[in-house]
Every structure is written in C-alpha cells, then in structure tokens.
Amino acid sequence: MRLARPVHPLAAATAAAVFLLAGCGGGDDGSKDDKIDGAGGSADKSASPSKSDAPAEDDAADFRTSDIELPDDIDMVFDWEKPADENKAAALDGAADYMRALNHGTVKQDPKDPVLLRHTIPLQTAAEFATAKIKADVKEGFTVTGKERIYNEEVGETVKGNLVEVAFCVDQSDFFSKEIKTGKVRRTEASDKDYTRLTLVMQKPKQKQQVWQARTFLFEGEAVAKCKG
C-alpha cells in the first residue's frame, strides 16, 4: 500500500531549492534568460533510456545514450523524438544529460558533483538550482529510486547563434525518495504534483567536442493541464 505523498523527489526538492536560491540572489543575470525569443517547436515524442558524453565529429548528438552512470534502480525514460536540426538535437541531448546529472549529484550526495558541473554554466540559474536541490537532498538524507518519465518536449529555434530553449514534462508518479541510511523507499500515492514542466536554456559549446550546457532553469509546478493524460 502506498503512503500519502509527504516527499516528492522533484517538486519538494524544488521548493527547498527555490528557498535556498532566494537567500543567495540567483545567477549573475537573475532570471532574465529563463525565456528566450524563438522558443516552441516540436511537440513530437519517442522513447529512450540513457549519450555519448561528447559525440564524435561525424555523429549527431543523441539523447538516447549517455556516459552518465546511474544505479540500476533509477530508470530515466526520455519519451522524445530526435530533431532533424543539428542544434536542436544537440540542445535536447544536453537537456537530457542535465536531468541525468541532477540525479547523479543526488546519488553521489555531492552538490559539487563533477558530472553536474560539466553540464551546467557556472553562476547561472540551472547550476544554482541543481546545487540547491542536491543540498536539500543531502540535508534530508534522501537519494532517489524508480522510473522518471520525461516527455512532451518543445525545442525552440537557435537564438544568438548559441542558445536553444528546451521545455518538457516530467512524470514522477513512479519515482520516489529513498532514505540513504535505511534504504527505505518513501512510496507514495499518485497525485497531480507528480506532473511538472521544466524549461531550460541550453548553451552551445565553443568547441565541437564539448557538450551543450544548461544555462537557465524555469520550474512550473503541478503542470497538470500540459502534462497529465
């Protein structure tokens, strides 16, 4: 039998992260880049689980594969379709690895996890949110377990030659907090809080062998109308 939902891996930790960010003032440009012009595009979907960290020169980026290793009890399903446009595909790939890096940092209980640092722009809101979220997880003594489904993606056009906005839904109805000390899984009843929507602004690297990094982050809680069903 599932318990009532006192702990939610993303929404609850996001609330804690927002609180922590309020105390440190956010990134060097505030939240101005949370949205960029030219966003909105594909709403197509397709399946996946986990990218080659930096794609070979002749290979297009692909969110279906990754060198970010997560425990076997964490299943991240990217129900996305790979865009034909090279920049859009690479931005989507980077967004997938940002989500993986969030979980990786929580599993490692390290707000300064090198994997997370590699996939974020320093001093910007995506990095600061991730750090604050992981700090909240560490404080509560939680890691995560279960299946996290990420879907209903929208990928914007390239702006300023190096920025692409990626928005998507996250379903955590089968994704739970787990107590590190006891291994107890906080199984909970499904609710509308399981459905959230995130928007990332991804930044293109200066060198092709490097990865796209998350720059800014916007969280929309309880995005039932956009994500449920």
222, part of any domain = yes
Q: Which two tokens stand for residue 75?
A: 């299943």
Per-residue pLDDT reduced to its tens digit, 134-148: 999 999 999 999 999
Mean of all residue pLDDT scores within the chain: 80
pLDDT band for 91, please (50, 70, 90 cuts): very high
Per-residue pLDDT reduced to its tens digit, 110-122: 999 999 999 999 9
Q: From the CA atom positions of the chain, what is the Rg in Å? A: 16
Q: How are beta strands 213-220 and 163-179 bridged, if at all?
A: unpaired
Q: Torsion angle of alpha carbons 101, 211, 27, 50, nearest 10°?
A: -20
Size of the chain, expressed as the number of residues it contains: 229
Residue of 101, 81, 100 whose CA lies nearest to 92: 81
CA distance 6 to 24: 27
128, part of any domain = yes
Per-residue pLDDT reduced to its tens digit, 9-65: 666 556 555 544 444 333 344 333 445 543 443 333 333 333 444 444 345 567 878
Which secondary structure element, helix H or strand E, spans residue 216, and what is its range? Answer: strand 213-220
CATH number of domain containing 181: 3.10.450.50
Lowest mean pLDDT of 25-29, 67-71, 85-89, 222-226, name the range. 25-29
127, part of any domain = yes
Model confidence, pTM: 0.79
Which secondary structure element, helix H or strand E, spans residue 166, and what is its range? Answer: strand 163-179
pLDDT > 70: percent of the chain: 73
Total tally of structural domains belonging to the chain: 1
Per-residue pLDDT reduced to its tens digit, 71-85: 999 999 999 999 999
**Structural domain span for residue 103:** 11-21+35-50+73-227
Residues contacting residue 58 through CB under 8 Å, at least 6 positions apart: none
Q: What is the pLDDT of residue 72?
A: 96
Residue of 6, 56, 34, 74 whose CA lies nearest to 156: 34
Contact 159/36 with Cβ under 8 angstroms? Answer: yes
Q: What is the pLDDT of residue 26?
A: 37
183, part of any domain = yes
57, part of any domain = no
- For 199, phi then psi, to 5°, come to -130, 125
Average pLDDT of the residues in 187-209: 89
Residues contacting residue 25 through CB under 8 Å, at least 6 positions apart: none
Lowest mean pLDDT of 110-119, 167-176, 215-224, name the range. 215-224
Average pLDDT of the residues in 177-188: 91
40, part of any domain = yes
58, part of any domain = no
**Can you name the residues that pair with 165 across neighbouring β-strands?**
201
pLDDT band for 2, please (50, 70, 90 cuts): very low
- The 8-class DSSP code of residue 192 comes to G
**The 3-state secondary structure of 125-165, one letter per residue:** HHHHHHHHHHHHHHHHCEEEEEEEEEEEEEECCCECCCEEE
Q: What is the pLDDT of residue 18?
A: 55
- For 169, phi then psi, to 5°, come to -95, 155
135, part of any domain = yes
Average pLDDT of the residues in 184-207: 90
